[in-house]
Structure 1
C-alpha cells in the first residue's frame, strides 16, 4: 500500500503547527458526512465541549483519544488526516468502515489545549487520574470506555525532543508501548495482541525512519489510562509522536503517525497480530533521555584563574502567545555532556562565549550570546 501517497491525498491542510484547539476542529466536524455521528459527550472543567466522533458498522470496535495532555497535538492532526480518509468515497474507506466501528475523542482535554498545558483546568494530569477519576474529563473517558466496550484502545500522545531511540544518536520520532497490566509486567494474551500490532507498525515505519522508532518504558501505574485499560482486558497501545530533525512543528512526524494508524487497522483486520511477537517487540530500542535541542562544543571559559574547555546545552521552552507557540531556547546544562546528543550541534573550537552583559551564560539564561566576538547565537541558533 502506498501510505505516503494516501497521506498526501487526505492530509487536513487547515490543521498545522502545535496549537490545536476546539476552535480549529469544530469547522471540520461540521463538514463530515452523515454517517459520522458527532456528539458533545461531556464538558470540561471550564465547560468546553468534549466531542466524540463515531463512524463505521464493523464488529471490531476501536476507541481512540488524543490530547488528554492539552499541549500534545500531533496525534490530533493525524487523526483528522485519517478521518478525511474515512470520509472519502474510496474502497479503502469503505472496507475500514465495514470492518471497524470507531469511537474517537479528538481533544479529550480542551481546557489544556486552549491554555497549551499538559494538565486540565484544575492542574490535574488526566493520565494520572484513571483510578481516582477526580476530574470530569477522566470520568468521561472511563464512561465511554465502559459503554462502548472497545476491542482495542489507542492512547495518543506527543513526547518531548529529549528522547532518543536507545543511545544510537537517532531521535525517537515515533514511540509505542503495550502497557503493562500488572506490577510484574507480565505478558498475557491481551498485552500480546497490542505487542503484535506495534511490531507490525515498526516493521513498516523502518522503511521510512530507520532506527527512529522507540519503545516507551513499561513501568506499571494503574492510574495511567493505558495501564488501566490493559488491566481491564482491552489491548491498548500508547502512541508517542516525537521529534524528526528540524521538525519542531511536528508536520513530518504527523505523517508517520497517520501511517501507524493505517498499519494498525490493516494488521487487526487481517488478524496478523495474534501470534507471539514478544521477541521482536523487545528488540525495539527503549526510549532514553539522551538529547538536547542544542549542544555547543569546545567552549573556552575562565575558572578560578584557569582556563578550561567545556560544553553547553540549550533546550527550547514552548510558550503560547497570540494563538501561536513560540520556541525559546535556554541554557539547560554545562559540562562534558558525553552521554548526550544535540538535535543541532555547533563546535566553537575553543572560542569564548559571553552574553549581552559580558558574562559567561549560566543555566536558565536565554541562549543568546556572542562567540569569540565573531559569531552570534540568537535563540539557540547561529545567526547568519
Structure 2
C-alpha cells in the first residue's frame, strides 16, 4: 500500500473526537455505541474496579487477529490509532476494508485497563502491572485477556503499547518514533517459526514507515520474561507483534505518532490479507536498529555549576491534572552529556548558575521552563550526579 494512500485514508478517517494523551472509557463510549450499529460490540468482563471491558469483533475471514490496547492505562496513542483504523474498516465503500474483512476476523479490546486509563497510570486499580501478570493472572483484566486468547486461538496477536521519550533508534540522535518487537518465547530467545512470521510482518511495516520517518523506527529489546503477555504467547507459538508508540519531535500529544501507528496497522492488515506469510523473509527484521536510550526531553548545554562546566538534563514527568496531562519538568542529571541528545536543546554558553538563591540564570528561554531549582518543579534532591 502506497504511503500517499495511507495518508489520504488517515486524513479522511481520523477519529476527531480523540486527541492528546488522556484517553479513557468516557472518551470511547460514544464511539462504541456508534460502532455497535455497524458491528459486534460487547462487554466481555470488568476491571478490578468494575469498569467494563469491551470487545469489538468485525470480519468473517478465517485468519484470526487479536488486538488489545491500553494494557497500561497511560499508553493511549495506539487506542487513538485503533479507532482511526476502525473508521476505515467500517466504511462499506472501501475496497481494502472489504478484502480485509473477507479474509480476516478482527477481535479488538480498545482499553484493557479502564481503571489505569482513568487514573492515567501504567498500573491497574490494584497497582499491578498487567503486563507482568500473564502467568499468575491475579487480576480480573488478566483473566479476561487469557480467556479471550484461549477462546479465539488467534493466528496473530497485536500487543499495543507506548514508550517513553528516552528511546532512540539505535545509538543515534533520532528518536524511536515507532518501535516493534517479536517477543522471545524462551530464555535462549530462539528464532521459532511463530517469531519468524511476526518478524516478516514487522519488516513489511518498517519498509513503509521508512518512507515517512526514515531511521526513526526501533526494535525493542527481546529479553525474555515469561510473566509478560507477549512472551507467554510466543512460548505457545502464537505470532505476536508488539507496538511501541514513541516520540516525534514537538509531538508530546502523540498526534503525529498516531498517524504512523495507523500506517503500520494498515500495512500489517494488507500484509496478512494479501501476502503468503511463511516467515522466510524474517531477516529484514534484524536490520531495524535496537532501541537506544540516548534522549532527554531537554538538555541545557555548557553551563558553570560549582566551578564545573556541565550539562543539565531535564525529563518531563506526566501528571494528570483536571483531566489533562501536564508535563512537569524535573532535573535528572548534571554532568557531561555529550553522548546524549535533547528533544530540545538550550545553549548555556558557559553562563554561571548562582547556587546561593538556588535559581538557575542562564538564558531567557529558561523562564519558559520555569527553571528554578527551589520550586516545586525542581528539587535539589532530584539531581542525579
TM-score range, shorter chain: over 0.9
How far apart are 1:272 and its partner, in Å?
4.6
Q: Deviations over 1:195-254 (max 9, x none)?
A: 000000000000000000000000111110001111111100000000000000000000
2:230 is matched with which residue: 226, 229, 249? 226
Distance 1:340 1:81, change over 3 A: same
In the alignment, is the contact (CA less than 8 A) between 1:66 and 1:156 conserved in 2?
Answer: yes
How many angstroms apart in 1 are the aligned matches of 2:365 and 2:9? 44
Q: 1:12 aligns with which of 5, 15, 31?
A: 15
User: Alpha carbon RMSD of aligned pairs, Å?
Assistant: 1.6
Which residue in 1 is equivalent to 2:357? Answer: 358
Verify the 8 A CA contact 2:199 2:279 in the aligned structure 1: no
- 1:65-84 to structure 2, matched below 5 A, reads 65-84=68-87
Give the superposition deviation at 1:74.
0.1
Q: Which residue of 2 aligns with 1:3?
A: 6
Q: What's the secondary structure of 1:370's corresponding residue?
A: coil
Q: Give the drift of 1:75.
A: 0.2
Could you tell me the TM-score, scaled by structure 1's length? 0.93
Per-residue CA deviation, residues 144-199 of structure 1 (Å, 9 max, x unaligned), is 00001111000000000000001111000000000011110111111100000000
- How does 1:284-303 map onto structure 2 within 5 Å? 284-302=288-306
2:143 & 2:326 partners in 1: Cα distance? 33
Moved more, 25-34 or 339-348: 25-34
* 8 Å contact from structure 1 (residues 200, 273) kept in 2: no
Structure 1 residues 110 and 264: CA distance shift in structure 2, 3 A: same
Match of 1:198 in 2: 202
CA contact (8 A) 2:64 2:105 kept: yes
Kindly indicate whether the alpha-carbon contact (under 8 Å) linking 1:38 and 1:51 is maintained by their aligned counterparts in 2: yes
Q: Which residue of 1 aligns with 2:182?
A: 178
Deviation, structure 1 residue 354: 4.5
* Mapped contact 2:74–2:117 kept (Cα < 8 A): yes
Number of the residue aligned with 1:92? 96
Query: Which residue is 1:42 aligned to?
Result: 45
Secondary structure of 2:148's aligned partner: helix
Rounded Cα–Cα distance in structure 2 between residues aligned with 1:80 and 1:232: 29
Report deviation, 1:277. Answer: 2.9
1:370 and 2:361 aligned: yes
CA displacement, residues 305-329 of structure 1 (integer Å, 9 cap, x when unaligned): xx22111010000110111100011
Equivalent-residue separation in structure 1 for 2:72 and 2:211 (angstroms): 30
TM-score (norm 2): 0.93
Partner of 2:380: none
Cα displacement (A) at 1:284? 0.6
| Structure 1 pair 159–380 and aligned structure 2 pair: CA distance change class (3 A) | farther
Contact between 2:99 and 2:273, CA under 8 Å: does it hold in 1?
Answer: no
Structure 1 residue aligned with 2:132, among 128, 131, 136? Answer: 128
Whether the 8 Å CA contact 1:371–1:377 is kept in 2: the answer is: no
Q: Who is 1:238 aligned against?
A: 242
1:281-320 aligned within 5 A: 281-302=285-306, 307-320=307-320
The aligned residue for residue 364 of structure 1 is: none
Contact 1:64 1:103 in 2 (8 A): yes
2:25 alignment counterpart? 22
Once the two structures are TM-superposed, the CA of residue 58 in structure 1 deviates from its matched residue by 0.6
SS at match of 1:193: helix
Displacement of 1:336 after TM fit? 0.4
Number of aligned residue pairs? 368
Alignment partners' CA distance in 2, 1:182 and 1:7: 38
Aligned pair in 2 of structure 1 residues 76, 380: CA closer, same or farther (>3 Å)? farther
Q: Shift in Å at residue 275 of structure 1?
A: 4.0
8 Å contact kept, 1:294–1:380: no
Distance 2:297 2:110 in 1: 29
The 2-side partners of 1:329 and 1:44 are apart by 32
**Equivalent runs, 1:329-348 vs 2, <5 Å:** 329-348=329-348
Between the aligned partners of 1:177 and 1:280, the Cα distance in structure 2 is: 13
In structure 2, which of residues 369, 374, 381 is the aligned counterpart of residue 379 of structure 1? 369
Structure (1/2) with the larger strand percentage:
1
Q: Which has the higher helix share?
A: 2
